[in-house]
Amino acid sequence: MPDHATAILGRLQTADTDKDGKLSRSEAPTRLQEHFDKIDLDKDGKLDKAELGKALSAMGRHVRESMEKRRDEMVKRVQEARSKLQDKATDKAAAEKHAEKHAAPKKPIDKKIEEKKSGEKKPEVKKAAEKKVPEKKAATKKPKATES
């Protein structure tokens, strides 16, 4: 028996207050009382080691099966998600290929205009500070006649 089953049986033996090797309904823990009638196979009103072992085994099997089922569902979901991603990638690649194949070819005149635009230099714009401003002529004063 695995260690956890041994530990559970040990706890159940601790619950056996009259130490007769069997658990009566009153000795059984609350969670076990709910399932007492299902576990008591010989219907004697007491659970012996064999009955508890079978119940633990069935419970373990049930847990393993549900975990396997859940794992299988998760694997299926992952596979579906991967498939969708691959389909999207394939669809996108196909759409791009279709667009390239059916794109309207450029007309030669369009190409010449584009080349002309890319080859042209933009005229330089002079800044206001660089513009020449006519200088004001300095007023010339006539020298005063000197009196001699």
pTM of the prediction? 0.42
Please enumerate in sequence order all residues whose Cβ is within 8 A of that of 49, keeping only pairs 6 or more positions apart, or say none.
Answer: 9, 21
Instruction: Report the b/e string of 125-144 with b at 16+ CB within 10 A.
Output: eeeeeeeeeeeeeeeeeeee
pLDDT in tens, 27-74: 888 888 888 888 888 888 888 888 888 888 888 888 899 999 999 999
* pLDDT in the model for residue 1: 46
Query: What gap in Å lies between CA 47 and CA 28, rounded to an integer?
Result: 9
* 128 has a pLDDT exceeding 70: no
Contact indicator for 17, 27 with CB cutoff of 8 Å: yes
- Tell me the per-residue pLDDT of 76-125, one tens digit each, with 9 for 90 and over: 999 998 888 888 878 777 777 777 776 666 555 666 666 666 665 555 65
